[in-house]
Structure 1
Amino acid sequence: MGLLSLHLAAAISLAGLVLSLYLTVAPVPEFCEITSFVSCDRVLSSPYAKFLGIPTAMYGAVWFATASSTAFLAVDRKPALKLLVAWSAAGVAGVAVLVYVELFLINAVCLLCTAAHVLILAVLGLSVYELRRQQQTLTTKQTTQAY
């Protein structure tokens, strides 16, 4: 898969950026209102939809913009790949908090928010995959050169 995984992580991050910006400014689409539990409107109109007066989705937009930039940098720079893995792990920790808030404090789930959460998990998976692939390649080269 090679560097394709980093390009894919960057593309997924760009999609997440668009989704996060959409969640910040657009009205909730009807398909998000399935039941009282599966309701983007309940989540996005709750007191938890803002943190320090800023829409939570805007924090997601910043996360995705940073992840996309870092993924592009990681194509040529291994330290950037390690940073992307760390950034993605932090993103997944944030997702865990947001899912907790949805399930146990708001008692509702937003489908579009869940889509953003899945994208963050995908970026983590791809970045970890690429880091391990590069480490294995380096180990193989070192072993081959030793003989």
Structure 2
Amino acid sequence: MKKTTIERILNIIIVLSIVGLLVSIYLLYTHIAPPTEGSICDISSTVSCSIVNSSVFAKLLGVPVSLFGAIWFVFLGLISWKAKRQKKLIQGLLPWNILGMLFVIYLIIAEILLKAVCLFCTAVHIITLITFILSIILYKQLSKKDKKKWFKIFKKWIVWIVIINLIPLIIFNVAGGEKKDHSELAQCITDKGVNMYGSFRCGVCAKTRAMFGDSFEHINEIECHPQGENPQTELCLSKNIEGTPTWILEPNGVEEKRFTGFLSIEELAEFSGCNLE
């Protein structure tokens, strides 16, 4: 393979790395940000980034998968950039892309289990698949001697990769401190007669559950989706539920007020008339 062709392939990988990084940053933003508006790719209950990005699969070891994805694309771009001048680095692209494909398989399995498709996630999958194929093409141009030396050459890179990935693990699992217990507030909300009409296909509902953590078990959630667990679709229809989550203050079954959309802990306390300590 000509030197110009190799450099052209490396440039393509660099461009794809930048695109993948930008998509991963957006997914990270939508994962962390309050779900007031959802994602721009929330098209339906089946095609929704919020559903996938707010699910239990969106975190790995307590860290958003999108953050790991962003780090992966950064190193992919750096290795490709360095390989333009140090051709021996090309051999590291294949094992790095194999790791990326493992993440792709993990996310595809997650989408199958959730019965939802995240378009931005799919974009990342396609980008990773393309860079994987390109890395195979480049790897085939290496001599057997070079292929055996990849671990020795990438020792320093491996150390930096481990260090950089340890930082978010520490931040999200150690430095973040203990999560506040909202059990008393959640119990008060239910005692006041507030019900949450939600859906297992609702991304905002998933974020609300995550916001409460284990305390959410005290919240009375009514499943409106017919495919959900213990669905009460007829009740939701009788209540004219047009979107989820819908919070209804209805002591003794008499509706006093309702709100459709995301409510923070403070807003829920005010909505229900509970004290927030």
Distance in 1 of aligned mates of 2:87 and 2:99: 19
Q: Within 5 A, what are the aligned runs for 1:29-108?
A: 29-30=39-40, 32-104=41-113, 106-108=114-116
Which residue in the other structure is 1:25 paired with? 29
1:51-103 deviation per Cα after TM superposition (whole angstroms, max 9, x unaligned): 22221100100100010001111212233111111100111122111111111
Instruction: Tell me if 1:5 matches 2:26.
Output: no
Which residue in the other structure is 1:126 paired with? 134
What is the deviation of 1:13? 0.5
Q: Within 5 A, what are the aligned runs for 1:104-119?
A: 104=113, 106-119=114-127
CA contact 1:91–1:120 (8 Å) conserved in 2:
yes
What is the deviation of 1:35? 2.5
Whichever residue aligns with residue 128 of structure 1, its letter is I
**Going by fraction, where is helix more abundant, 1 or 2?**
1
Distance in 2 of aligned mates of 1:134 and 1:76: 15
Structure 1: gaps (5+ residues) = 136-147
Which residue in the other structure is 1:141 paired with? none
Structure 2: gaps (5+ residues) = 144-277
CA contact 2:58–2:65 (8 Å) conserved in 1:
yes
What is the deviation of 1:110? 0.4
CA contact 2:57–2:107 (8 Å) conserved in 1:
no
Residues 126-135 or 94-103, more deviating: 126-135
Write out the 4+ residue segments of structure 1 that deviate beyond 4 Å after TM superposition. none
Which residue in the other structure is 1:138 paired with? none
Provide the secondary structure at the position in 1 that maps to 2:127. Answer: helix
What is the deviation of 1:109? 1.2
Distance in 1 of aligned mates of 2:42 and 2:21: 22
Point out which structure has higher relative CO (alpha carbons under 8 A, 6+ apart): 1
Which residue in the other structure is 2:150 paired with? none
Distance in 1 of aligned mates of 2:116 and 2:97: 25
Q: Identity, % of aligned pairs?
A: 33
1:13-69 deviation per Cα after TM superposition (whole angstroms, max 9, x unaligned): 111111101111146433x12222211111111121122222110010010001000
Distance in 2 of aligned mates of 1:132 and 1:17: 26
Distance in 1 of aligned mates of 2:98 and 2:83: 16
Provide the secondary structure at the position in 2 that maps to 1:29. Answer: coil
CA contact 2:91–2:142 (8 Å) conserved in 1:
no
